[in-house]
Amino acid sequence: MKSLLRLKPYLLKYKRTLLFGLGTVVASNLFTVIQPKLIGNAIDALKQGLEIKQVDTWVLFQYSATVIGLSLIAGVFTFLTRQTIIVVSRHIEFDLRNDFLSHIQKLSLSYFQNTPTGDLMAHATNDIGAVRNVLGPGIMYPTDTLMTFSMTLIMMFAADWQLTLLALLPLPLVSFAVYKLGKIIHIKFEERQKQFSEITTRAQENLSGIRIVQAYVREKYEIGRFEYLSQDYLKKNLVLAKVQSLMWPLMFLLVGCSLVITVYIGGLKVIDGELSIGTLTAFFGYLILLIWPMIA
């Protein structure tokens, strides 16, 4: 957290644009969560029309046009979100690179003698890029998640609070699984980054000291050493990919359990007349909207 506070001056520089971007996140979610309710109302209207054998196509057209219009508006606000928050993160990345270059030019010669070149290259490339991800997607997605989660829950409880509580039972397991796997992924990612730094350092040392390598006939050894580091880097990437590959199958399994509960309990409520088909359909829409916030 203290490290993030150092980025405060960079964020304040673009505070107006960021605030506008956060506003577009709220607007986008607002126009999105209304849509399942309208779809549910349209299905109920269609059902009532079929029962009396008099379907009002104009009403259905109005619902359809409204949903399409809301989708377009939500899409525009989503586009504006990316064009503000993500673009600001790119500007901050540019500022960080300039400040990084200015800073290292002021350091003493002893610092460069004691610091591997690979570490400096990793800071200048991967690390600053990672900071940009924190300031771009790292701001946009949590805000979007919070808005989606809160608005969707309000709509779900308004539709049927009992069904909401039952449908949410498996979803905390999603967050727990993501948390555990996320810690493992973080460790594996750090190991991969460290290996990348070693490869960069080795390559730089060999290129800058190529005449010394040739003078001592160390070409084959250095080639073999570089191949070993590259293979180790490949293995670390594969381990990271395997851990990441567990994420989505597990998510779909747990989310599937929530959908099964909704189908069964919601179906019984529809049969008993406690819930309309349109409301159940809207409930499915809300549940789908809620999946990503639980994962995030």
pTM: 0.70
Q: Report the number of distinct structural domains present in the chain.
A: 1
Task: Count CA atoms within 13 Å of residue 194 on its CB side.
Answer: 7
Place of tokens 């490869």: 199
Lowest mean pLDDT among 19-28, 193-202, 272-281: 193-202
Give the pLDDT band of residue 296 (cuts 50, 70, 90).
low
Most confident of 67-81, 84-98, 113-127, 186-200: 67-81
- For the CA atoms of 138, 151, 286, 18, the dihedral, rounded to the nearest 10 degrees, stands at -30
141: containing domain: 1-155
pLDDT for res 2: 58
What is the mean predicted confidence (pLDDT) over 190-212? 82
What's the rounded Cα separation, in Å, for the pair 86 and 212? Answer: 46
List the CATH number of the domain containing 50: 1.20.1560.10
Residue 237 in any domain: the answer is: no
What's the rounded Cα separation, in Å, for the pair 190 and 187? Answer: 5
Residue 105 in any domain: the answer is: yes
What is the mean predicted confidence (pLDDT) over 282-288? 89
Report, in angstroms and rounded to the nearest whole number, the Rg of the chain calculated over CA atoms.
27
Q: What is the pLDDT of residues 221-246, one digit of tens each?
A: 888 888 888 888 888 888 888 887 88
Residue 228 in any domain: the answer is: no
Bigger pLDDT: 8 vs 83: 83
Residue 167 in any domain: the answer is: no
Residue 76 in any domain: the answer is: yes
Residue 278 in any domain: the answer is: no
Angstrom distances, CA of residue 193 to CA of 158, 198, 226: 47, 9, 16
Residue 275 in any domain: the answer is: no
What is the mean predicted confidence (pLDDT) over 20-33? 93
For residue 275, the 8-state DSSP code is S
Residue 192 in any domain: the answer is: no
Q: What is the pLDDT of residues 104-136, one digit of tens each?
A: 888 888 877 787 766 777 777 777 877 787 788
